[in-house]
Structure 1
Amino acid sequence: MDEFSLDDLQAALQSAQEEKSTVRLSERNVVELVSKLKGLGLLGDDLLHSINGREYLTAAHLCGEIKDAVAQAGGRIPLVDLPAQLGVDLVHCERQADVIVRKSNGGVLLEQGELITLAYFDGLAAEANEMLQEAGVIPLGDLARRFNLGADLLMSAIAPRMGTVIHGRLEGQLLYTSAYIARIKAKVRGALRAASAPVTIPNMLRELDLENLSTGSTTISAIVVELLAAGSIKGQLRGGGTTWTPAIYALSQQGAVRSFYQQNGYIGYDTVAKLGISSGRSYLETAFPDGLALDTAFVSADLLHSLEAASEDALASATFCDVGPLLPSVLTPTDVTTLLQKCSTVQTAEKAKSGPGAGSLLAGTCLVSAALLEQNSQGGGPEAASAAKLSIDALGEQILEWYPDMEEAGHRGRLAQAIASQLRPAAVAEYEKALAAVFVAGAEARRRQREALSRSLDDAYQRWQLYGHGAELLGQDEATSATLARHLIRSVGQEAVDCLLRYQQVDVQKDAGQEPADAPSSKEAATAPLTAAERSALINQLPKDTQQSSSAAVDKLNGGSTTEFQEALEHAAEDAGLRLRRLDKKAERGLVHAHRKALEAQLEAAIEPASALSLVVPMLFAKVHGSELGAPPLCDNNMFSIGRLLNFRGSKPASTAEPQKKQPGRRPTKPGGCVVGAKLLTNEPQSLVGKYVRVWDNELERYELAEVVQLTEKEVSDAEDSGIESGSGSDSDQEDEEEEVQLQRRKAGRAPTKAGGCAEGAKLSSQELVGRRVAVYWASDRRYYTGTVAVYNGKKKRHVIQYDDGDQEKLDMSTEIWRLEGLALGLGIVFAPSRRGVWHAS
């Protein structure tokens, strides 16, 4: 190579270049060749290809082309325009743009997807300055829209160039010149000087055609403050710089407030607000330190003097005064009360409980002397105490009748009601006292009336069942049976229905608040039948839940079926809350025996044969059948028919007929009642020896007449008797066989005082009651029921009572009303026939 000169080499190169190649490579081969060279490391990694793939270039060459493109575009070009202009993919352009920004040291910015140079911002500032000098003011928003830049980016570009490139001021979002500010200041000064009332800055700017400055309120506020400091305008800038109040307006406000206050002695806060003073209360307290600040107005101290005089006159004359007319109408009752409480006379009157100077503040605006209140409390009497159930309005009306001049006194004319509210507690106490006395008396009368009617109904229902059983025995004689049924319904049935209706009438009167009538006795309730009209009137007064059943029972009085009537009566009684108990056999025998005794007494006094016959037939019927007969009086035909049914031929009854027995049955309803014999046995047992008594025979199941022959002291665990009655029977025939019965005895004891035990002073333990016969009081039926104490449960402290009618009940005898029914001492008794030769059965 040393043999060749430079010229020779250049000539060889030129000839080689001019020589046409005989072998040409395709584009595909070239691409593969370049890739192979890059893979061998012979070519650098920064080798890039164009979008069409026909050219290759380095990153440095692409960076230079991007700089040239930015310069050609005036210092600002979007990145998205580079791929089309340079023929290189956008990714490569973005990478090289970042490299250019890093290496420019702030000379080039990448903002909003654009490459922008500082030279571009300098030109933008110069152009903005030209626009500013022409217009005097430019909003930044207009510049941002013109140059298509963000407000923040534009602000960051303009702010550093203020005073150098841009000759003006930047306030908020405005660019303006000094000449423009001078013109604005002159307009604002003239407008504020001309204002005689408060004006708002936005309204003033709108009137001056300066609405574009409304967003720059700080600029206007600064101008106003500058004018105030220079003394060009006089007034105050309030409301955060949004309201201008001229000094002349404040002077007129003060003059108007002072004039109104001095003329009227008060001024309302609403009046002060209308004059444009917002904090009226604090302003008035500062302007008038001697006044009184109330809730709705500010008043002068002179008003208190007039209130003092009126209060003194009212207390001295023992009347009242309404200070409402003396005070301004704008004051509320609360304001009036506050004023009155500040009066020394009123304060002294309220502290004094009584005396000439005592009084009370009522109805918000009235001072009432204590003497007047005392006079009202004593002047009403019972008439005022009971007026309209002691309502305040009614008491107020009564006070207005006594003092008509109080009608319009007080707040809304409520002085009379205020006095009534003070007097009402005492009146209510008197009213309740009188009402309680009336109620207690009425409740006691209703209770007695209900008890009497309930007993009458029970008695009538028992007689109904008793006579009904007797009528059933005559069912073979249809005519007689029908007559007896009709008579039974129209007599005993009618009595039961009348008692039931009267019982329900007591409840109706109680609900209606009517005073109960005097409670009739059982005899009066049973013998005072109601008329059909009276029954209809009573039914119409009953509640709907009992009206239908009671009406059905009344309708059955006109029928002839005892079964239907009894069902209707029981249903009506159940709806009325009454329990009609069935008549058991033992109780029925007791009633039959008592009725026979009554018939015997009547027979002894009978004189007329017909009357004697009407008494003899029921007696014989009861003797033969053990049942009672309810026959119409003086019914001869029926009597002879009944006599035939009895097979009565004028002879004595068959000897096989057993006398009826007396059952322990229901004891007297009076708690603690005792048979005479029990007292004799407890106090003087020896006095019974030689007496005739009736004793229960368990084997014969009946009472037998016997004579007490001796006294024994034997103790056993149970007493078989159910009571003893003393008698003074005379000597009897000794032809019949005598039988001695030894009544067993157990230790005497005192029954619980709550139960009212039979033997006074007796005490029995719970276990000792087992096997004893007792009578337990049923409050619902208001009567005693007898039975035997079967079992005692010591754990639960309960006694099991087996009643004579078959019922069984578990009771805590310590909480029940009961009494013993057995004898405490044993007696030797001899049974003997009576003087008439028949056994006496109870």
Structure 2
Amino acid sequence: MDAELLELQRQLEAAQSARSSVRLSERNVVELVQKLQERGIIDFELLHTVSGKEYITSDHLKHEIKMEINKRGRVSLVDLSDTLGVDLYHVERQSQKIVSDDPTLMLINGEIMSQSYWDSVTEEINEKLQERSQIALAEIAAQLHIGSELVINILEPRLGTIVKGRLEGGQLYTPAYVSRITAMVRGAARGITVPTNLPSVWNSLQQQLQEMHGASGVSVEGSFFQSIFNGLLKEGAVLGSVRAGGQWTPAVFAHAQKESVDAFFSQARYPDGIALDAVFVHHSVVGMLDAAVGDAIESGHWIDSLSVLPSYISGPDATKILSLCPSLQRAVKSSKAVVFGESCVFSSMFIKNIFDRLEKEMDSFGIKHSVGQGKPMNVTVGSEQRTGSGSDTKDLGDNDASSTGVSSDRGSKKKKGKGAGSNKAGALLKDDDNDESIPVKGKKGSDDVNGPLKLLSSHLRPMLVNSWMKKRNTMLSGNAERRRRLLDNLQKQLDEDVLDMQLYEKGLDVFEDDPATSDKDNKLKNGMDVEGNEEELLHLSTADRSTLAKNLPGVLSQKAQALVDALEGKSFDSFMDALSDLLEESGLIFKKLDKRLERSMLHSYRKAFNKALQAPGRAVGAVITLLKDKLPDSTYKVLTDYHGTTVKLLALQAAATDEEDCASDRMLEKKEDLEERLMPELKSLVLGTNKE
């Protein structure tokens, strides 16, 4: 008994350790998985790999993606698709779910990036920053292949923690370097004792840094200097005031100025300076204003000298100071600048830019439509202004309009002058929004805050009106050319149609009144669609034609209505007479059909339409029967004899056998009849040689 049990045990072990010789094919596995899905045993989503030989679940794919992110920190979805062997669509879908569930991840431009990756990147940036003292954000973005905005978003929350530096004007600076630049700005500001233009100071500091560090030195933007200076001024580290255009006046200047005047007056008993109408100013004021005006002209902007000069200087005095500025005198002589009013200086480049924008505004306000209608432009001025008390510029009076010396050759001169002036002022206000803020400062106690705008609009108005007139004349010339081509095409089409009608009229008597033809004629008269009409035509009813005729002016309307009435009748001559009268009234030519034109048209029609009728043999008899009432008896008899003989000959040939019998004699007889009698008669009939 024990021996049997041991034998059975050995057999069981052998069976368990033996490998199966039967294996499932890939097709069987696919069918098995489908059956399991149909029965609900597999109730989760299965994905195919790119090779198609493996299944993978969504959860496992998500797990694999997370592992890759944790391993690398920054992963491209395309690389994930290649690494995992799964289609890119499934990788993108699972990646979006992972990013939405984990706030520490971000998906940007097909790449997943983790916070740990950014921490390591910012640590590397900090190491480079400490070595070089300064790094440009554009350089970082190029190295990481990301946008500059993303670099800023990543660096800002880490400034002061991981990144030991300061972000300013697209540059990263170390605290030590910022302290050094701050000391330079503080020393320069405290060392200035006279009013000075700050941009020139920043340029000097930049040159000094380049000389100190050489070609490999750190470049510092002027905005960085200005930011540090504003902080020092706010803290009280430097004393003084900043006026428009970056004009720095140190506090020590006023004290030194007072002491200088007192000392000179105590010695010479008269003050040293320039005598104006209301005040007495030092020569340095002229130099200060000259520098500000020169910068405005070179940069293509404008400046109101009252915004730079002290508040106690009035408009007439500002005009005299401007006349003493060398840079302004040179610019006016070379047409690089224009002086408006008492204190405003505009560069020619600024005026040209405003003029170009206003020209575009004229086009957007429908200059083409106004030219087509022969009416002047009517534009609306924006009511909101940023530089004044809220009043619009419609108060540009007749004096401004008349001072331009430009008037239109059509319409009311006064209206066009006002409309054009309002247009320029309104467009200038829109230009203010697009350009930098324009400081406007008038005389103390003056309510005319829109003075510079009025002066500029008065200067631009004649230029714009002249430009508008040139465009208007050009467009009118273009319209005249288009009208000429349109009239030529219309005359050509009318000539073709009128000649066709006159030619067709010669064959109208041949046709009888057919109900189908009458029905088609009624449909055409009533503007209804007709089947088989190949051309794309505009179908008009009688009422539509009458309405169009009534809309025409004067006598032309009467003649058009007469043509509509003639179209309703059946007289071809009355229709052609009415058409001739209408064309003559319209200035078009009514071309009559002569013998030469008729021969030419008939030849072209024969060449195009004179084709042999192809019909099956069984239909020839029906066709001949249909033509019985239309043909002479002799012609009809020739056709029926020829057709009957041909049919009999074909029947004999079909029934003939190889043996010689009477059928061959009859066939020969029919052939001779066709060739000797019927064929010549038919040829003479076709060629028109038969007298009948």
TM (normalized to structure 2)? Answer: 0.35
Of structures 1 and 2, the larger Rg is shown by: 1
TM (normalized to structure 1)? Answer: 0.29
Q: Which has the higher strand share?
A: 1
Q: Which has the higher helix share?
A: 2
